[in-house]
Amino acid sequence: MTLRVAILSRGPRLYSTRRLVEEANALGCSVDVLDPMKLSLTIGNEGRRILNEGWNVEVDAILPRIGYSITRHGVAIVRQFERMGIYAANSSSGIHQSRDKLHATQILSSNHIPVPTTAYVRDWRDVERAIRQVGGVPCVIKAAEGTQGSGVFLAHTEREASELAWELLEKGIQVLVQEYIQESHGRDIRVLVVGGEVVAAMRRKAHGREFRSNFHLGGSVEGIDLPEDFARIARKAARLLDLDIAGVDLLESNRGPLLLEVNSSPGLEGIEKATGVNVAGHIVNHIIDAHAFTNVDLNQLLTTKEGNGTLSLKIRRYPELVGKRLGDLIVYDDDATIVAVSRAGAHVWQPDDNLILREADELIFYGILDILQQRIRPLIQRTIDARNSSPPEPYPWNIEVAEDPAAWAISDQNVSWRNRRR
């Protein structure tokens, strides 16, 4: 059976779109390029439909190439395809998360992916504080949403940073102040991840005084052999943001690779010419292999049954639990169970009662929410009671009260400090 693929793109003549069409045809697919802004959708109890100029769109898989300017509408269209059980090479949630740089940075950093220090500002008067938090000037001022280097500026002074932030805020644009990585000025590494695997990588270099290295801004590119630590971060970032196809940008810093951003609609021209890799072919082959499996919102699925849901418990908040057996903590059954223990970037599914808890573990419960809460509350209360009943930690300082109230001293074994009122 011929696989029917729709490429959602407003630019059928663009290099990336043309290459994807060529490879899809070469691999025997039936392919159409659909302008997402010309698609409409119908939602109702009788079913869901997507229309193109009044005709039902019937396809087996879609490849979204959603531009920044139409993110909201494009995400709604992709979400409708997903609800109809049609495979999307990049999920609606993945596109949305990757476009919001603040949201993406929050997800990635919370999952131990190294990123440049970033501050979010809502008022230009907060820029000075933000600059201190990211290590001083020069620093990068960028819009929280954008792509291909748009809305990204290098500020050399606090005044320049404040003015740039003010201009963006005046336009209603969310602003990020980001650490400037001097040793990677004007260059970065773009990694193409397809289906969880790195298929190509290149180093991009800016020309002249431009510090942004994007190919479409005139930067030069060269293929590279990607170090494994860079590849591992790129694969993990794409996975965390729920993207089957991603362009991951990394900086080469003195402290190792730093993730700059993730693009859900990466351009193919620069990386195919720099590396000689048929990236478009990899993408279409992945769609052929994966189209039978549609994306699923696991949290939504687990809360479909009335009264059921998931809860988590971070062990680091209750250090008294470290070293305990899992089976000693809570009695659970089919109505309330621990489905997994999140540990060191992986999951232990259906964990054994004899598993010993570690400080960084997170317990993931599933079942009837009322029962889960009834079972977990006593556990939390016991740890709080144990904490309150413990003797207070000895104060580390020896306080000497001077006879003269105008003088006082605080000292420990090796430190003596005295202050006199004048």
- Output the domain CATH number for residue 174: 3.30.1490.20
Average pLDDT over residues 101-130: 92
pLDDT of residue 94: 95
Asked whether residue 203 is assigned to any structural domain, the reply reads: yes
Rg (CA), the chain: 27
Of 98, 128, 145, which residue is a domain's last? 98
Domain count, the chain: 4
Average pLDDT over residues 12-29: 97
In order, the DSSP letters of 29-98 are -EEEEE-GGGEEEEEETTEEEEEETTEE---SEEEE---GGGHHHHHHHHHHHHHTT-EESB-HHHHHHH
Question: Which residues, in sequence order, are CB contacts of 138 under 8 Å at separation 6+?
Answer: 154, 155, 156, 180, 182
Same domain flag for 326 and 342: yes
Same domain flag for 86 and 138: no
pLDDT of residue 214: 58
Could you give phi then psi for residue 143, rounded to 5 degrees?
Answer: -70, 145
Between 129 and 394, whose confidence is greater?
Answer: 129
Asked whether residue 285 is assigned to any structural domain, the reply reads: yes
Residue 284: CA atoms inside 13 Å, Cβ hemisphere, count? 26
pLDDT of residue 95: 96
Between 336 and 119, whose confidence is greater?
Answer: 119
Same domain flag for 19 and 35: yes
Q: How confident is the model at residue 5 (pLDDT cuts 50, 70, 90)?
A: very high
Average pLDDT over residues 64-68: 92
Sign of CA dihedral 342, 346, 349, 355: negative
For 412-421, what is each residue's pLDDT tens digit?
Answer: 333 333 333 3
For 311, the 3-state DSSP assignment is: strand
Asked whether residue 106 is assigned to any structural domain, the reply reads: no
pLDDT of residue 150: 64
Same domain flag for 273 and 366: no
Dist. CA 293–CA 41, nearest whole Å: 22
- What does DSSP say about strands 4-8 and 30-34: parallel, antiparallel, or unpaired? parallel
- Rounded to two decimals, what is the model's pTM? 0.80
Alpha-carbon torsion angle 274, 280, 281, 282, nearest 10: 80
Q: Is the pLDDT of residue 397 over 50?
A: no
For residue 33, give both structure tokens. 């390029």
Of 290, 319, 352, which residue is a domain's last? 290
Number of H helices, E strands in the chain: 11, 23
Asked whether residue 394 is assigned to any structural domain, the reply reads: no
Same domain flag for 9 and 43: yes
H or E element that contains 309: strand 308-314
Same domain flag for 209 and 234: yes
Same domain flag for 172 and 198: no
Dist. CA 109–CA 143, nearest whole Å: 19
**Residue for token pair 């290098």:** 154
CATH code at 233? Answer: 3.30.470.20
Range of the domain at 80: 4-98
